Structure 1
């Protein structure tokens, strides 16, 4: 159809051109003489490749990675994935005033009919519907940033590293906010087999995926990308915007227990895998900031208890209604429409707007004591590698991060302290494979050779999932219990939403994965060991929490036991509590208030659920100090909120945004901010406010 330009609010910086059919991206690159990716100006930040693969603390003399300021890039398969599944994090990034770039892989053209189901059926026009969805996103972001949904954008076309063109929109009033539209065709179905899709391109069942240009886009010539060109394009976007933090959907959402089909949209899953591949390529490039990654659950979050308080949900819903063009007034001057009317009939989706959930990065135990008094280690993931921070004693500053060798690590790790003072770090890592197969996720561990010494190589524990074809390589972060002999039992929620366990042998190796029971488990399991050496493992279902316990000397496990606890928001944390028990922390659905229950020697609470007075609403884990002191959590504005002791007033909540969960230690609380820094707040600071 003929491109239509809305009046007034939108401008394009490239002249109109006549479409000449479908052009394959590689010939375009040759025609234009393009030999590399997007050219960008270099800014003064450390090169991640300058940091060698070394241990801690010996390697701390090496110049650590430093990022030059927070910059977030988030990747979505469709317009509205960010509004449903990443908000309120998206709106908090906008409020922070820092750089935010949202990248949409497909046009989201669906059937081309921009109407609610109950409305008269309009004529199909995929270019116009794609344009209407773009208009809705621009209105939603403008409103979040300025309060005015009609705040103007500048629309330009940029050359991609894949050899074609993409649309770049910049909010004129807030130029640090950008939208990038790659405009590939969507699958057009949640899970039905469509070879002409991101899924078919990833699996090698189609050689190229064509574009679907929006009606008013400054990109004029259709194109098609191969698998490699999509990866190159994502790599080029990353090089252009140089993120310190990347948001994306979950590449392994697993199966729906009831239907046996994918629990999320296939474009979400395979789009996220393309982003993983682009990130892996980008991570090998010098001259860029180090970056962290956060995965978000998609459709499956709607079947779990609501994680957002009413005020946050209502703000999120207002943004979705703006995107959905709910008032149906012509505020954009575009005959294609000012938003996505398909969403207008159900702007909260299928209970998606009431929650936000992270996949595999919510560990609250990523700070651990070292072998010496006051010594602390912090662990995270930057550039797909283990990042280590170190504080040699209570009076010293934190140093790091130092990146260890071994790429492909997923966001978030679980360190544990062994009886002899050494530290082991467990996590999951992804092998991407080639087109047609090979994608898999596995559990891995690396351990210090001596207390305070270097970390040995990564050791694979394999996976309870036989392969990607079974349940999509869906496994959780591990929960680890170490007995008094130093042997570890590693628990993982598998793709069938049950628990699996691998137990360390006396020779240091690990046995095969075996079923450990439970069903309908969601999120990541957590573990804690009491002063007597008894281990506890907890995992959430949509209705309650299940518990497993282990014996101090043998590691023999029993469970699962139904704890009888009420529904939680799924994010859990656990810490030792006194001489004979552990305490489980969680949030109450809808309110987001902090709650806890104490366990002594078994899988049933040793008393009633404790309500924390003056609790702060928010989402994610509630984290308690191991000495029974303060509490830390993500407050409603998105920053770190602290209470020096249960029942004491809360402080903070509006500070820097951070990744995953905070971590507590004797003397203070740590958080990893979105610019890759570890921040440390002493409990005394919280008590003084």
Structure 2
């Protein structure tokens, strides 16, 4: 996007009204059905629909690592449930950190500490839902697979908000070798894992789970709540070094692997809606710049203080305590109240134009690659349709080949029959002919071959083509360096993974090619951004160049602007956007002074196409930025998952797309002439379901 274009970002979203959601007094009922639209009426604009379910290892992982997504989902009135896999009993002492605060006379009470954490979580959810931390809950025990039980809590004032407590024993150590843990159960070192029920729970003690029973129990909870969006932690956070400690808590990553297995099992059922999965980073966010603006960070901290029981007033009447005092001395965590980061699916390159102006959009639903397509500007979208094969990870990169065929790239997880067979590889599928069927998934393997249990800590792929149509795939490996694999010839086999250097890379790399055919590749670090650039078309990619750009919040976007490439990113601590343009007059690229686009801020990726600038606004909804009267976000009332995509087709009408929390594709097209006169409000550009839901479904006319 040129500088002139950046001053004409003119698409606008109207503020919409969230529809009501029907609930029952126990668990979830069906949503209300929208009133029928008048014959011939335009489709109803998108609002937040769907059912969201979080699965975390410990009480507080949701508050630290999934907020503000969690609180904002609750605020919409949709159905929201959080599942806690372990009791979080730790050492059994509900005391603030610090040796001077520990009372050696008080014996450990794991059941009581688990109850205190439950009390804190219930208070935080009540505050998020009603503004009153003392709002009442209905609690009961339900049976699970394998003779076990789980506690289910329903918020009486907001019965669409549920909590599920499986109360498995936690590892009681971040990385220590304790076989009696989720890690030991996954690796087969123990035949079963027992539970640590909390004091005060309606669940009776004395049961345990085998590995397959844990998987079945989680899958059974999925079947009970029928989520359209599943949020979980990162199953492959990587290691400090080959053979070193994991970068995250062992319960976080092994809990996420159990969720992967449960989602794969649940996906085999037929009586369910489509669902997407969003993975969240946990401890590794400690070393990364803050992603949230001060107002959002303060709101998040308020819920954490409620959970941490910082006022120490016994308002709940429980002898165990009303919250988690271990976090009271530092409810911010390690700066976690100031950030939120996704570990998969945070790139905006999942939509492309194929032959004859046909648009293609890709997203992973039910562990399979789904796609939607639209033949022309005035024709409806169709989909989702599915490529063959399962095990696909969140995220996709779509490309158009020189002959008009479309290819889609992603990563795939194989759970394996044994723990050592767990792995992730890069895969791609290409149409046999323009607008034709997609071929089978072909594997590029993985650059990780030496680190068996830590392998697969790789990014999603960035994909580029040279002027002959040869494809190169770029990926960040678990050592935080850049790797590349290139076809020997167009449509040919890919070569070995080459090492391109760099250090401390974060997130997914991005790539763009300028008008002269010079390729740019960028990857963020915790402090700045590295660039790899061809100094001439078809020349070898240059070595990693420190750009000296400031730190970013992670996701990058790169767009060709004539003979240059513009790099877009969010500023830490505000979430506002900035850009710098790279030119290549010689072997060393030159970067323009930072252009601050400003705006209200937000977090996550942005999709850019011509004058269309779509991303998550400060409130968390999908919005479009319009800057000719001062940068701002014009917002919808729709929350989404993953990253927005934007495309400027050959007909010149930009299209934005997101995957809603309902697992449906939603699109917007700014009306022509939206810029208008300076100081005038441009016409609205609401988001609509690309494919309206079937008649009788929630949100359908």
TM-score normalised by length of structure 1: 0.88
Is residue 2:670 matched to residue 1:675?
no
C-alpha displacement of 1:528: 1.3
Could you tell which deviates more after superposition, 140-149 or 422-431?
422-431
* CA distance, structure 1, for counterparts of residue 523 and residue 315 of structure 2: 48
- 1:519-598 matches, within 5 Å, as 519-550=503-534, 554=538, 556-577=540-561, 579-598=562-581
Name the structure 1 match of 2:501. 517
Name the structure 2 match of 1:131. 115
Is residue 2:457 matched to residue 1:462?
no
Name the structure 1 match of 2:385. 402
* CA distance, structure 2, for counterparts of residue 87 and residue 230 of structure 1: 26
Name the structure 2 match of 1:388. 371
The superposition leaves residues 508-553 of structure 1 with CA deviations (integer Å, 9 ceiling, x where unpaired) of: 1111112110011111111112222222111011111001124776
Equivalent position SS for 1:372: helix
Paired residues of 1:597 and 1:605 also in contact (CA < 8 A): no
* CA distance, structure 2, for counterparts of residue 355 and residue 598 of structure 1: 27
Name the structure 1 match of 2:40. none
Higher relative contact order (CA 8 A, sep 6+): 2
Paired residues of 1:132 and 1:336 also in contact (CA < 8 A): yes
C-alpha displacement of 1:654: 4.7
C-alpha displacement of 1:554: 3.5
Is residue 2:139 matched to residue 1:159?
no
* CA distance, structure 2, for counterparts of residue 458 and residue 42 of structure 1: 37
Name the Cα RMSD after superposition: 2.3
Is residue 2:641 matched to residue 1:650?
no
Name the structure 1 match of 2:72. 92
Paired residues of 2:239 and 2:246 also in contact (CA < 8 A): yes
Equivalent position SS for 1:684: coil
Paired residues of 2:48 and 2:638 also in contact (CA < 8 A): no
Name the structure 2 match of 1:250. 234
Could you tell which deviates more after superposition, 468-477 or 502-511?
468-477
Is residue 2:307 matched to residue 1:303?
no
Name the structure 2 match of 1:663. 645
Paired residues of 1:641 and 1:650 also in contact (CA < 8 A): no
Closer, same or farther in 2 for the Cα pair 1:416/1:648, shift >3 Å? farther
Is residue 2:178 matched to residue 1:194?
yes
Closer, same or farther in 2 for the Cα pair 1:435/1:258, shift >3 Å? closer
Is residue 2:334 matched to residue 1:354?
no
- Structure 1 residue corresponding to 2:595, chosen from 590, 598, 610: 610
Name the structure 2 match of 1:105. 85
- Structure 2 residue corresponding to 1:632, chosen from 614, 623, 635: 614
- 1:317-356 matches, within 5 Å, as 317-356=301-340
Equivalent position SS for 2:71: helix
Equivalent position SS for 1:411: coil
Is residue 2:70 matched to residue 1:83?
no
* CA distance, structure 2, for counterparts of residue 555 and residue 647 of structure 1: 42
Equivalent position SS for 1:300: helix
The superposition leaves residues 342-385 of structure 1 with CA deviations (integer Å, 9 ceiling, x where unpaired) of: 00011011122211000120111111112113x21111110011
Name the structure 2 match of 1:7. none
Paired residues of 1:490 and 1:501 also in contact (CA < 8 A): yes
* CA distance, structure 2, for counterparts of residue 604 and residue 336 of structure 1: 61
C-alpha displacement of 1:555: 6.3
C-alpha displacement of 1:40: 10
C-alpha displacement of 1:618: 1.0
Closer, same or farther in 2 for the Cα pair 1:603/1:254, shift >3 Å? farther
Closer, same or farther in 2 for the Cα pair 1:642/1:42, shift >3 Å? closer
Paired residues of 2:626 and 2:633 also in contact (CA < 8 A): no
* CA distance, structure 1, for counterparts of residue 90 and residue 578 of structure 2: 43
* CA distance, structure 2, for counterparts of residue 646 and residue 415 of structure 1: 31
Name the structure 2 match of 1:54. none
